[in-house]
Amino acid sequence: MRVASVLVPLPVAEAFDYELPDGMTVGRGTQVTVPLGPRRLRGVVTETRETTGSNRRLKAIEAVLDDPPLPERTVDFIEWAARWTLSPPGEMAQMALKGLRNPAPRPERRVRHLPGRDPARPTPSRTAALAALGERSLPAADLARAAGVSSGVIKGLLDEGVLEVVEVSAVAAFDPPRPDHAPARLSPDQVAAAAAMADGVASRAFAPFLLDGVTGSGKTEAYLEAVARTLAAEPDAQILILLPEIALTQALIERIAARFGATPAEWHSGVSPPSRRKVWEAVIAGRCNLVVGARSALFLPFANLRLLLVDEEHDASFKQDEGLVYHGRDLAVVRARIEGAAVVLASATPSLATLWNARQGRYRWLRLGARHGTAVLPDVALVDLRETPPGRDQWLSPPLRKAMAETLARSEQVLLFLNRRGYAPVVLCRACGHRLTAPDTDSWLVEHRYTGRLVCHLTGFSMPKPRACPACGAEDSLVPVGPGVERVEEEAKSLFPEARAAIFSSDTAPDGRTARALIEAMAAGEIDILVATQAAAKGHNFPGLTLVGVVDADLGLRGGDLRAAERTFQLLTQATGRAGRADRPGLALLQTWTPEHPVLQALAAGDRDAFVEAEMAEREIAVLPPFGRLAALVLSSENVPALERTAAELAKAIPNAERLEVYGPADAPLALVRGRRRKRLLVRADRDVDLQGFLRAWLARVKVTASVRLTVDVDPYSFL
């Protein structure tokens, strides 16, 4: 009997076996239809084998689908990613089939010349249209443009029966980039980095790189030159560029189109379903050289993936915390290894994990130490709020106000950075001290004054701001506490009423289109004061921006997150790096109540190495990443007794293991989310411990009841 193992889209730990009917041929990656109970499911074959018999009767595969098989290396990647993240492999396989779940683009309506039919009155316009058309078919509007005639001429030929309308199914393909279309002028350091990356691709072996360059050093131009050299040497090569935010994709796509004379494919949640189908089909057929996308683009079925680029590799947005839990940067490195490709991790503030790998010699370290051209890095100064505090109900200190006035007087731009959306992060009752929270979640409600609503940024719940306190009933007692970007903008407008102010956050720019419009307005000098969250700290170039004021530099340093210092250093370096582009000197002022903190001292001194050394030393003492490994088990349920029982059973079932500790179970910091109570266990292991093997052995000992949801997070980034 011939047997095939098939991955099906269910939360199960392995493939299901099915009998192969006589005459049916399948291979690794073939898409098939299989029965499962009363349902028929699409599955992916992982292997076939022959067996002499079985004590159970296997159901047979019903049909081989016409859709192309997934490339074998794509299946290898899916299986590896599932093992590493302890995810169901069938659900992981569905990530690679995501494009097929979208409708195909509609057929294109074109016109063609009917053989033997000529116009009764062959005017010069009609003759020109028929000559431009020839024996091919074209959309009517394209034909009119090509012939230089009006649409009425084409309509007349259609009405007369000389032309006919035909529907043509669009071929999923993208114009090939032209490597020599518009090469950039590069510095010697950029040329050397690009050559090294291209040589890594040419080796046709796994080649990982860290492209480490200060803000404004031209990392994008360097890696686009590597793309050009790759395509010049190998025209059918495929390249994937991963970005952490959708808002960044349009700017990069425009730069790529200008550099290569062709628009790359896009892959992210903002792309329409038919376009996603087109990208999927073009990628698997090898008719798409260049894809720019979010982390899910890693699962596209590339036919010849030669180079992966992870821009802003340090960004926490590459970590997916819901559904299938994985880190896009880490999986990009593995995908490159499986494909035998080069992978480039690019950042001005690399993560400590990536720096550690570069120091160990695992990644080749490429450095761009100076800004491109004559631009210089901004001066960074700390404003001690203990000595020069803002006034009552104000958030901008006298030194920052003075610097803003001087900057605006020179007709230059100001960026006020505060990583808090809304008007105020907390709404408090003056009468009883009650803090307003969402009804089914422990997170505080944030006041948004522009909309007059209180919003939970974790779940999306919102409500009008009540007149009375829901706890004590006191009227007009609810007051905002602390600043958000709306409150800072309000203060900036009162100080500088003539200045044009705007807010850049996920509330004011919820999608790529509006974000791009705001970025273009700032770049064009149409905004004087931009009050922004981290949305503005990622790779944008504002030529007129010379002053960055960080309203609360201490914000990210609070809490128990092991990466708090690292993230704060990265975020503030990126934010302050927006100042001083276009050959204008820049200044960054960081308001802080703790100017002695090592992170802020390193920022002021521009000494990244000192910060990295101190942070690495602390991690090494505690044997925390990158010197150790972490995993989190998060239990959640609406049934609190079942949750408590499952947590207790997990605690009792912990296997004996050396150089490994388990902490918990304990209530998660956010113990209630969307009506579900949450408990968490945290595992810390030495770096060489088989953490995944330990977790599998542990979870095999406990049957988790259906009312309890268990999420396994290998290398957690969120500790809430």
Classified as helix, coil or strand, 473 is: coil
Contact 5, 47 (CB under 8 A): yes
Give residue 572's pLDDT: 85
Query: Between the ranges 46-55, 83-92, 104-113, 498-507, where is the mean pLDDT highest?
Result: 83-92
Q: What letter would DSSP give residue 65?
A: -
Classified as helix, coil or strand, 56 is: coil
Q: What is the mean pLDDT of residues 672-690?
A: 93
The pTM assigned to this predicted structure is 0.86
Q: Is the pLDDT of residue 510 over 80?
A: no
Contacts of 80 (CB under 8 A, 6+ apart): 334, 338
Q: What is the mean pLDDT of residues 186-210?
A: 96
**Would you say how long the chain is, in residues?**
720
Contacts of residues 613-620 at CB distance under 8 Å and 24 or more positions apart, as own/partner, are 615/352, 615/565, 615/566, 615/569, 616/352, 616/356, 619/352, 619/562
Write out the DSSP string of 580-621.
T-TT---EEEEEES-TTSHHHHHHHHT-HHHHHHHHHHHHHH
Q: Is 121 exposed, middle or buried (CB count within 10 Å of its CB: 0-12, 13-18, 19+)? A: exposed
Token pair of 220 as six digits: 């994008």
| CA angle 417–421–422, rounded 5-degree value | 120
CA of 596: how far to CAs of 360, 463, 600, 605, in Å? 31, 41, 7, 12
Lowest mean pLDDT segment, chosen from 101-110, 303-312, 447-456: 101-110
Lowest mean pLDDT segment, chosen from 184-188, 432-436, 579-583: 579-583
Q: Is the pLDDT of residue 248 over 80?
A: no
Q: Is the pLDDT of residue 292 over 70?
A: yes
Query: Between the ranges 358-367, 423-432, 497-506, 597-606, where is the mean pLDDT highest?
Result: 358-367
Q: Is the pLDDT of residue 294 over 90?
A: yes
Lowest mean pLDDT segment, chosen from 40-49, 235-244, 402-411, 451-460: 451-460
Contacts of 116 (CB under 8 A, 6+ apart): none
User: How sure is the predictor about 376, in pLDDT bands with cuts at 50, 70 and 90?
Assistant: low
Give residue 281's pLDDT: 93
Closest CA to 287 of 204, 177, 374: 177
Give residue 444's pLDDT: 87
* Neighbouring-strand partners of residue 444: 437
Give residue 371's pLDDT: 64
CA of 617: how far to CAs of 96, 210, 362, in Å? 40, 21, 20
Cα separation, 88 vs 86, in Å, equals 7
Average pLDDT in the chain: 90
Q: Is the pLDDT of residue 52 over 80?
A: no
Q: Is the pLDDT of residue 663 over 70?
A: yes
Task: Give just the sign of the alpha carbon dihedral 467, 481, 414, 521.
Answer: negative
Q: What is the mean pLDDT of residues 414-422?
A: 89
